[in-house]
Amino acid sequence: MPTSPIESKRALREHILAQRSPLRADDLSVAAREIRDHALDTPEIAEATSVAAYVSTGREPGTGPLLDALTERGIDVILPLLLPDDDLDWARYEGSDRLMTAARGLLEPDGDPLGPDAIRGVDVVFVPGLAADRRGYRLGRGGGSYDRALERVGPHIWTCVILHDSEVMDIAVPREGHDRAVAATITPSGTRRFR
């Protein structure tokens, strides 16, 4: 039985990754389109001129359709560049053909870095996660990259984690002092607001 938040997080990560393992490509594709549609229906996106997002990989809930839909609407999209210390820099999304493979199998834009503080200037921030609880605390991969990024944004910026439906937990996600809550989650079945 895990006794510390770190051990509890590790156990929950293993559980979620095992749940994601059997997900099929066609199901992920359908879910990505549903996530896009729910995101585009939010008032926050309707009013946004700039968004920070990320490129999904593996069996993460898909973000490709959302990224393209945002740019088609004329919304400026920035994506993360993972730095050696696990902090995030940012660069503009110029389309899927301008993404390159980076460390840890991530896909990153090939444009000029904008600096870690570029996230301060966006209207909406979409972050990845493995789980979130009803208070908006999310479980990430363990590097703290997005907690640092979320620390840079003010309360007026809408923050949202993208998850599979089963990853929104009724129980509290284990957390530590550096963990930052988000305002909402979008899953294939809809948008849930935490605060």
Q: What's the pLDDT tens digit per position in 96-139?
A: 999 999 988 899 999 999 999 999 999 999 999 999 999 999 99
Domain boundaries, the chain: 5-193
Name the phi and psi angles at 184, rounded to 5.
Answer: -160, 170
Q: Which residue ranges of the chain lie beneath pLDDT 70?
A: 1-2, 195
- Alpha-carbon distances, residue 75 vs 27, 94, 146, 161 (angstroms): 27, 11, 21, 19
Alpha-carbon torsion, ordered 119, 157, 175, 7, to 10 deg? -40
Question: Percentage helix, strand, coil, to 5, in the chain?
Answer: 35, 25, 40
**Alpha helix positions (H), the chain:** 5-20, 25-40, 43-47, 64-72, 145-152
Q: Would you state the pLDDT for residue 1?
A: 52
Q: Would you state the pLDDT for residue 2?
A: 54
Please, are residues 164 and 192 in contact by the beta-carbon 8 Å criterion? no
Domain 5-193 sits in CATH at: 3.40.50.10420
SS (H, E, C) 113-150: CCCHHHHHHCCEEEECCCEEECCCEEECCCCCHHHHHH
CA distance 170 to 154: 27
- Alpha-carbon distances, residue 73 vs 81, 141, 188 (angstroms): 23, 31, 21
Please, are residues 80 and 127 in contact by the beta-carbon 8 Å criterion? no
Q: Which amino acid is at 6?
A: I
Q: Would you state the pLDDT for residue 169?
A: 94
Q: Which SS3 state, helix, strand or coil, does residue 100 take?
A: strand
